[in-house]
Amino acid sequence: MPAHISSAPGKTILFGEHAVVYGFPAIAIPVNARQAKVKIFPAIRFKPEEIRFSAPQIDIERYYSDFEPNHPFRIAVEGVKSFLKIDQYPACKIQIESTIPISSGLGSSAAISVALVKGLMEFVGYHPSPSEISNLAYQVEIIFHGNPSGIDNTVISFNKPIFFQKEKPLQFIRTKNDFSIVIADSGIKGNTKAAVAGVRERWKADPEKYNDIFKKIGLITTEAKLAIEKGDHEKLGKLMISNQEYLQLIGVSHPVLERMINIALANRAYGAKLCGSGLGGNIIALVEPDRANFISNLLLKSGAKQTILVTLIKGS
Ligand code: PMV
């Protein structure tokens, strides 16, 4: 069995985060400029099921048998074994590395889950479909995040722009024009589990207000899908600004994110908003392609820790 390499992209949510947890639609796109990579090497001197995990960026250097029962990596191996009806997974060494920043809303945990599940299946000769990968990666995401909507594992497994709604058929989005997006990192670590739990607490305290906001975010997201399909930059930018206002109202924004958003808007971005669970992490700004570098440099000068330029390409 030769060594096997699998990888998965990062992602960003363009519209509908948080509302998606409550059954409303959201739009997400893959970010291929950042990748999680899993290398699996056969370990001929190891006993069956002796699996050595090495993930230096998250301080993991451990045998599979030493993980607690609900460790995400253990859930990934167990999930693959049960899906493929394997009693014992072959002995191997697994190296995990990623260029996706951790805790910043770019899908680092989901990308690792997807690359790991895909690698584990392919290493034993099975070639899974994107939805098979996504379903297993979702089980791993539950451990990472508690109650995930499933949007991260889905967009990353399919590696295409998606219009996602829980328990509804997945829709892919094709654009009529290129869209340039600057992603900028506030440097403040987000915490998806805590942000989602905070929204749930506030929703429980005032369900009427929150249900109304989620519904409005859902309508914005549906309009955004049409704007993307029509290639309408102006409209899409305005919808981003409205979505951000609702994200502020549900308490997941942050003064540093708002400052970055305002810098982008003051410099003729079509629109800007936080992306992902918020309280830190990244913002996205929709910009003219020839202003992307300018706005990116401006954000870096005013404190952004890093930026990524993404183009949603016409027809994709
Ligand atoms: O993992 P993040 O920070 O990109 O955010 C996930 C998006 C949420 O809607 C807040 C949660 C979810 O499970 O969809």
- CA of residue 210 to ligand 1 center, whole Å: 17
Q: How confident is the model at residue 316 (pLDDT cuts 50, 70, 90)?
A: low
- CA of residue 160 to ligand 1 center, whole Å: 17
Give catalytic residues, as residue numbers: 152
| Tokens coding 256 | 């540093």
Angle at 12 between CA 207 and CA 26, to 5 degrees: 40
Give the ligand 1 atom nearest the CA of 18.
9
For 280-307, the pLDDT digits (tens) are 999 999 999 999 999 999 999 999 999 9
Which DSSP string corresponds to 52-74?
A: EEEEGGGTEEEEGGGS-TT-HHH
Q: How confident is the model at residue 314 (pLDDT cuts 50, 70, 90)?
A: confident
Q: Would strands 162-164 and 60-63 be described as parallel, antiparallel, or unpaired?
A: unpaired
Rounded to the nearest integer, the mean pLDDT of the chain is 95
**Which residues make beta-bridge pairs with 230?**
none
Please state which CATH number belongs to domain 4-164.
3.30.230.10
Residue range(s) of every CATH 3.30.70.890 domain in the chain: 174-312
Residue range(s) of every CATH 3.30.230.10 domain in the chain: 4-164
Q: How confident is the model at residue 1 (pLDDT cuts 50, 70, 90)?
A: low
Q: Which residue, judged by its Cα, is nearest atom 13 of ligand 1?
A: 148
Residue labelled with tokens 């990308």: 111
Give the ligand 1 atom nearest the CA of 149.
13
- CA of residue 16 to ligand 1 center, whole Å: 9
Report the residue among 11, 12, 13 best suited for mutation to probe ligand 1: largest number of ligand atoms under 8 A from its CB: 13
Angle at 152 between CA 150 and CA 153, to 5 degrees: 70
Report the residue among 14, 164, 196, 202 best suited for mutation to probe ligand 1: largest number of ligand atoms under 8 A from its CB: 196
User: What residues are in contact with ligand 1 under a 6 Å CB criterion?
Assistant: 13, 17-18, 20-21, 105, 107, 148-149, 151-152, 190, 192, 196, 276-277
- CA of residue 18 to ligand 1 center, whole Å: 6
**Which residues have C-beta within 8 Å of that of residue 261, sequence separation ≥ 6?**
244, 272, 273, 274, 283, 285
pLDDT at 103 > cutoff 90: no
Q: pTM here?
A: 0.95
What kind of fold does domain 174-312 have according to CATH? Alpha-Beta Plaits (3.30.70)
Residue labelled with tokens 């090497």: 41
For 167-181, the pLDDT digits (tens) are 999 999 999 888 999
